[in-house]
Amino acid sequence: MELRHLRYFVAVAEERNFTRAAQRLNMAQPPLSRQIQQLEEILEVQLFQRDSRPLKLTETGKFFYAHAVQLLAQTSELESMTRRVGNIERSLSVGFVGSTLYGMLPKIIRRFRDENTTVELSLHEMSTMDQIRALKDGRIDVGFGRIRHEDAHIRRVILREEKMIVALPEGHSLSLAKPVLALGDLVNETLIIFPKAPRPSYADQVLSAFEDRGLKPRRIYEVRELQIALGLVAAGEGISVVPSSVYGLKRDDVSYKELDDPTLVSPIIMSMRALDESRDIREMLELIYRLYEEEQIDHAPRNDPER
C-alpha cells in the first residue's frame, strides 16, 4: 500500500462521491476508481458500501479512515519539520491570539529579533484551535494561545497563569464600592465577552468561571475582540472580565478592579510540534523565561512541558 492510496481514499471518504473526489485530486474519475479498487484488493476488505448514494464507508472503512487521516497528518508534519531542519536560512513563524499582545508578546518578539538577527520571524494572529491546525500542516512553528487542547502531535508548555480582572466604566458604582470584587458582584451587570468566534476561546473561560460558581450574569454581550469590549465598557454598555495585562492599556474612561479569587486565571500556553526540537524554539523558550525573571513576572515552574 502506498501513501497515494491513503490520499485517494481520504478524498473519496470525505467527498462521499467519486466525481467530486477526482476533481479535488485533479485527476480523472476512472483511474481514481481503479486506485480505490486496488486498495481494497491489497487490504482484502471492502471500504465503501458501493450501492449507497451518497457513498458510505463500511465499518472497516471507518476504522481505516480514522487511521489514514492520522498517518497523512504525520506525513505533512514530517515534511515541514524536515524542511525546517534542512533550511539554511532560519525562519520562525509565530501564531498568537490577540490578547497576548497586551502581555509580554511584543517584548518577546523585539528581543528575539535583536538576539537572532539572521532568523526571519513572521507573526500571524489566529485562534488557539487554528494554531493547532497550522502547526500540524507546517504554516507556523510556535503558537501562543490560551486554550488547553489535547493533541498527541502537539507539545504544550504552560508559561504562566494570568489573573483575570474586571474592566468597568469610569465612575461605575462597583469601582467605588470595594477595593476587590467577587464574581458574584457582577451578576447584575451586562457581561461583555470576547472573542465571539471561533470557540472555544477566552470567552468560554470567563463563562465557565461564572458557571463553576453557580452564577449567571444578567445579560451576555458577545463581541469580536478585546478592544471592542473595552470600547463598549467605556461607553457604559456593560463590564468585562479581562486578562490582567490589559491593565497596561490604561484608558481614562475605564477603571480596573482586581478579583478576590486567585483561581480566576487564564493560562498563556506555548504550543509546538511534539517532535520539533529545533534551536529556534529552544531559544524562544529560554528568552521568555529570561524576560520573566528580568521583569519579575510570576510564571509556571519550568521543565513542565505537557504532551
Q: Is 254 helix (H, G, I), strand (E, B) or coil?
A: strand
Closer of 61 and 243 to ligand BEZ (Cβ): 243
Three-state SS at 253:
coil
Q: Which of residues 142-181 bind ligand BEZ (CB under 6 A)?
A: 144, 159-160
Number of residues that bind ligand BEZ (CB under 6 A): 11
3-class state of residue 299 by DSSP: coil
Kindly indicate which of the ranges 60-68, 103-111, 180-188, 228-236 contains the residues binding ligand BEZ, using the contact rule CB under 6 A. 103-111
Taking alpha carbons only, the member of 195, 193, 200 closest to residue 217 is: 193
Nearer to ligand BEZ, 68 or 105 (CB): 105
Least distance CB 107 / ligand BEZ (angstroms): 9
Candidate list 6, 10, 105, 183; residue touching ligand BEZ; CB under 6 A: 105
Contact string 278-307 vs ligand BEZ (x = CB under 6 A): ----------x-------------------
- Among the candidate windows 15-23, 98-106, 169-177, 271-279, which touches ligand BEZ by CB under 6 A? 98-106
| Nearest approach, Cβ of residue 106 and ligand BEZ (Å) | 9
Beta-sheet pairing, 154-169 with 305-306: antiparallel
d(CA 40, CA 46): 6
Grid cell for residue 140: 507556523
Residue 70 CA to residue 282 CA, distance in Å, equals: 27
Cell of 225: 475582540
Distance, C-alpha 265 to centroid of its chain: 17
Cβ neighbours, 10 Å, residue 80: 18
| CA 149, chain centre distance (Å) | 8
Among 108, 186, 226, 281, binds ligand BEZ (CB under 6 A): 108
Q: Report yes or no: 179 and 165 within 8 Å, Cβ to Cβ.
A: no
Coil, helix or strand at residue 184: helix
Least distance (Å) from ligand BEZ to the CB of residue 91?
Answer: 18
Task: Identify which of residues 203 and 269 has a Cβ nearer to ligand BEZ in the complex.
Answer: 269
Among positions 132, 239, 268, 287, the unique one binding ligand BEZ when judged by CB under 6 A: 268
Q: What is the DSSP letter of 277?
A: -
- Tell which residue, 160, 70, 68, 41, has the closest CA to residue 108: 160
Site string for ligand BEZ, 180-219 (x = CB under 6 A): ----------------------------------------
Kindly state the smallest distance separating residue 151's Cβ from ligand BEZ, in Å.
Answer: 19
- Closest residue by beta carbon to ligand BEZ: 103
Q: What is the contact surface with ligand BEZ in residues (CB under 6 A)?
A: 100, 103-105, 108, 144, 159-160, 245, 268, 288
